[in-house]
Amino acid sequence: MQQFVNYIFQWVLHDWDDDKCVKILKNCRKAIPPRDGGGKVIIVDIVVGAGQSDLKNNEALFDLHVMFVNGIERDEQEWKKIFFEAGCRDYKITPVLGVRSTLEVYP
C-alpha cells in the first residue's frame, strides 16, 4: 500500500526570500518519499504571469494589493530556480483564481 506524504504551504513561501525558501524545501524533501512513493509539496501562492488577468475580479485586486504590500512576487522561472536549488526534480503549476496558483513540487 502506497503512503502519501505531502506538505502544504498556503501563502507561506511568499513571505520568505529565495534562500529561506530553498532551505524550507530542502527540509521538506528530506522528510518525504520520492514522487513515485507519493511525496510532494503543495504550494498555494502567486505565480506572476500565470492565471487570469481579469483585474475586474475583486479577489484578483485584493491579491494584487497583498502582493505589493506584503510579499515577494515570483514568476515561473524564479519558482523553478528555487525548486531546483532545493533538489526537487519536477513541478507543476495550475492557475486557480486571479493571481493564485497551485504549485506541486516533487522530490
Enzyme catalytic residues: 14
Residues in contact with 53: Cβ distance below 8 Å, sequence separation at least 6, in sequence order: none
CA distance 77 to 58: 27
* 86, 89, 94, 99: CA torsion to nearest 10: 30
